[in-house]
């Protein structure tokens, strides 16, 4: 018997008699880690705990590292092993089922693994709990995951005897001379798989099957139609429960569903995918967003411009959009020998306004803002509600300034971002500074010196503001470094919004100039900035953040007047009219329904205030006020309510406190 020297990471080592399994070696090195481990890495290679160590190379100790719970690698092993458990349960319940593939999913927010199957009869969602129950039964029996290495011919024989043509196809394509197969001992399941897996089914405790979908073998519609069973798995039941809750919460907030239920917007296939219709209730929210933005732009001495939606093709060649961005642009259209293209960005148009006259250093900075609608040729498979569309409006601005002014301009942009997002209820803004980095495969414009100077100024601005930021190497635009920002929503999801970008490129390409104090022409610096990015997308984020229950200043209907009896209908109308004249958006519900039904309806529409009126309120000139989340908040005079509501709107309050 030979000896083998094993070492835990860079830590403890031991001399053991070989051969020895990884599990036994780990036990000698670290009892705790051995108990917890799901698999291990031996000299960097992932293996099962049952893997046998036979000797060491070059006299170096064999390095062992446990794959532990609460790591991404651990999750991969856990979910992948759970997919095997799922296949075992399906085979157990439905003998004759043919198996496809069953990978772990780590980046998918909805699922943690799947297995593709063709069962003897089509499965239905009613089968899922039954299959899940069988998975639990198998897990409890603490069956071993056992690996075997066999000749390719033998593997093909095993799987063809089991009538698994798809597995045979995979082995034919992928396997070398020796084939790694896995059993769950005591179950009917064998898989062609490289592993690693957990040592036994007892390690799988927190899993859930989630849904059933159609799938094609290898995604090919010509090949057999399969069914994909989706599930997820976590290390503990607590984690699984928390994840299920978050998933339900995300579904409850889905902007596509709420957009329909609250009649905010639609997308209509017969007009074209990815094109947004803002309905009256969504339209008024957009109007409020834009009005607010104009107010803020005015305070910050921006000017407002409007520009066309298409331009001559040559313009997009001068700007470089056609060369660098052509795939995202709609194809050219021709009129009287001139080709035009729809705009994917607003920048060249604002340059046109800058260039329309000679500028002096005294005219700078020029700050042009526009709600600029742009069009992008996104593929239909990538479209998603308001989040990814083909036509959207950017709250765009371009700042033209002298090199001395640019730092202050960018600093003001950062202030602007923080102030605006706070008004919409986003206190946490995360900044990312994207810089050139060392990779040279990108065609960066501008000299190293220019980049270094611009990057240090942007970093300086972020540090001055004391905001949280991350520096990202190699993610700068080809024309200059940029600051991107993200917000965290009510359920902790991060959303990428707008950007502040320093541009070395367009002022050169368009030969922009200003006359300096020295009476000579100079190149201005151009800054691109957008706060929301896309108004459509930001609206989608707002809908999900507030789950459709918007703050009063944004709510499409701010109050609904609900008479208890027809006798007070006239009073209800006069209350509504008085509030409208005070600038509030108010509806009445005069239908002959029970007051409870009217309140429920208003509640479903997420209307912030309900004014309930009976004989007494009419006699006293009062309103009984219900607030959307707090319920009854008491009776007050109409003047008092009006004052309260107007104050909440004026201050753009987030809650109706």
Residues engaged in binding Zn ion (CB under 5 A): 193, 347, 528
Please state the closest distance from residue 310 (CB atom) to Zn ion, in A: 17
Question: Phi and psi for 46 in degrees, rounded to 5?
Answer: -75, 130
Closest contact distance (angstroms) between CB of 347 and Zn ion is: 3
Indicate the residue among 193 and 433 with the shorter CB distance to Zn ion. Answer: 193
User: How would you classify the pairing of strands 391-401 and 631-637?
Assistant: unpaired
Q: Which of 330, 293, 300 is nearest to 313 (CA)?
A: 330
For the bound state, the minimum distance from the C-beta of residue 104 to Zn ion, rounded and expressed in Å, comes to 9
Nearer Cβ to Zn ion (530/543): 530
Q: Least CB distance from residue 396 to Zn ion, whole Å?
A: 6
Residue number with CB closer to Zn ion (75 or 602): 75
Dihedral in degrees, nearest 10, Cα atoms 451, 456, 458, 462:
160
**In whole angstroms, how far apart are CA 564 and each of 182, 463, 557, 593, 603?**
70, 58, 20, 8, 16
Nearer to Zn ion, 482 or 528 (CB): 528
Query: Is residue 171 a contact partner of residue 155, using CB atoms and an 8 Å limit?
Result: yes
Length of the chain equals: 657
Nearer to Zn ion, 50 or 548 (CB): 50
With CA atoms as reference, report the closest residue to 117 among 155, 78, 86, 160: 86
- Minimum CB–partner distance for residue 442 and Zn ion (Å): 19
Residue among 400 and 426 whose Cβ is closer to Zn ion: 400
Q: Quick one: DSSP state of residue 364? A: P
DSSP letter (8 states) at residue 100: -
Specify the DSSP element, H or E, that contains 368: strand 366-375
- Pick 146 or 644: Cβ nearer Zn ion: 146
Nearer Cβ to Zn ion, position 347 or 624?
A: 347
Listed residue (550, 605, 609) closest to 584, CA to CA: 609
* Nearest distance from C-beta of residue 85 to Zn ion, angstroms: 10
Q: Is-contact 250 256, C-beta < 8 A?
A: no
Other Cβ atoms closer than 10 A to 463: 10
DSSP 167-227: HHHHHHHH--SEEEEEEETTSS-EEE------SBGGG--EEEEEEEEEEEGGG-TTSPEEE
CB of 170 to Zn ion, least distance (A): 12
List beta partners, residue 370.
Answer: 396
| Alpha-helix residue ranges (DSSP H) falling in 332-383 | 347-355
Between 347 and 562, name the residue whose CB sits nearer to Zn ion. 347
The pair of three-digit structure tokens given for residue 168, joined into one six-digit string: 């045979």
Q: Toward Zn ion, which CB reaches closer, 281 or 528? A: 528
DSSP state of 442: S
Report the greatest alpha carbon distance in the chain. 102
Residue 374 C-beta: closest distance to Zn ion, Å: 10
At its nearest, how many Å lie between Zn ion and the CB of residue 182? 6
């Amino acid at each position: 018997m030979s000896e083998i020297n094993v070492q835990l990471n860079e830590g403890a080592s031991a001399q053991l008699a070989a051969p020895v399994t990884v599990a036994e070696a780990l036990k000698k090195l670290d009892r705790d880690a051995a108990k917890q481990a799901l698999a291990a890495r031996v000299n960097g290679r992932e293996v099962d705990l049952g893997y046998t160590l036979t000797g060491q190379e070059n006299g170096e100790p064999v390095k062992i590292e446990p794959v532990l719970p609460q790591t991404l690698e651990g999750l991969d092993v856990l979910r992948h092993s759970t997919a095997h458990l799922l296949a075992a349960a399906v085979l157990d319940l439905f003998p004759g089922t043919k198996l496809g593939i069953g990978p772990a999913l780590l980046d998918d927010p909805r699922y943690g693994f799947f297995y593709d199957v063709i069962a003897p009869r089509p499965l239905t969602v009613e089968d899922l709990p039954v299959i899940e129950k069988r998975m639990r039964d198998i897990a409890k029996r603490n069956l071993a995951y056992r690996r075997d290495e066999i000749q390719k011919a033998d593997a093909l024989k095993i799987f063809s005897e089991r009538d698994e043509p798809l597995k045979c196809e995979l082995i034919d394509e992928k396997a070398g001379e020796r084939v790694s197969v896995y059993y769950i001992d005591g179950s009917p399941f064998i898989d062609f798989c490289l592993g690693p897996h957990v040592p036994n089914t007892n390690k799988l405790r927190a899993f859930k099957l989630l849904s059933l979908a159609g799938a094609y073998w290898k995604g090919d519609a010509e090949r057999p139609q399969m069914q994909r069973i989706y599930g997820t798995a976590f290390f503990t039941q607590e984690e699984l429960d928390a994840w299920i809750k978050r998933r339900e919460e995300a579904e409850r907030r889905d902007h596509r569903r709420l957009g329909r239920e609250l009649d905010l917007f639609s997308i209509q296939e017969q007009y074209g995918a990815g094109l947004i219709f803002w309905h009256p209730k969504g339209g008024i929210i957009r109007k409020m967003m834009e009005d607010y933005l104009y107010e803020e732009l005015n305070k910050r001495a921006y000017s407002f411009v409007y520009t066309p939606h298409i331009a001559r093709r040559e313009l997009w060649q001068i700007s470089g959009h056609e060369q660098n961005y052509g795939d995202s642009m709609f194809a050219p259209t021709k009129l009287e020998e001139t080709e035009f293209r729809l705009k994917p960005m607003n920048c060249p148009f604002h340059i046109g306004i800058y260039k329309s006259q000679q500028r002096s250093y005294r005219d700078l900075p020029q700050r042009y803002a526009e709600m600029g609608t742009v069009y992008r040729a996104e593929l239909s498979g990538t479209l998603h509600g308001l989040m990814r569309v083909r036509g959207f409006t950017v709250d765009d601005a371009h700042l033209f300034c002298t090199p001395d002014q640019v730092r202050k301009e960018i600093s003001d942009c950062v202030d602007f971002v923080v102030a605006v997002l706070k008004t919409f209820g986003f206190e946490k803004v995360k900044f990312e500074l994207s810089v050139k980095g060392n990779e040279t495969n990108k065609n960066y414009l501008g000299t190293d010196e220019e980049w270094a100077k611009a990057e240090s100024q942007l970093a300086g601005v972020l540090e001055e503001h004391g905001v949280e930021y991350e520096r990202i190497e190699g993610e700068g635009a080809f024309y200059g470094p940029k600051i991107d920002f993200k917000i965290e929503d009510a359920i902790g999801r991060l959303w990428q919004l707008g950007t502040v970008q320093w541009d070395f490129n367009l002022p050169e390409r368009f030969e922009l100039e200003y006359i300096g104090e020295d009476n000579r022409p100079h190149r201005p610096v151009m800054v691109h900035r957008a706060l929301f990015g896309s108004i459509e997308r930001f609206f989608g984020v707002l809908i999900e953040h507030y789950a459709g229950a918007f703050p009063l200043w944004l709510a499409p209907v701010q109050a609904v007047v609900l008479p208890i009896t027809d006798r007070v209908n006239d009073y209800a109308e006069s209350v509504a009219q008085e509030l409208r004249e005070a600038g509030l958006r108010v509806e009445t519900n005069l239908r002959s329904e029970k007051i409870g039904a009217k309140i429920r309806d208003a509640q479903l529409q997420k209307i912030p205030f309900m004014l309930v009126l009976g004989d007494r309120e009419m006699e006293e000139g009062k309103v009984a006020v219900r607030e959307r989340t707090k319920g009854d908040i008491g009776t007050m005079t109409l003047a008092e309510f009006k004052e309260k509501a107007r104050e909440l709107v004026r201050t753009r309050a987030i809650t109706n406190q």
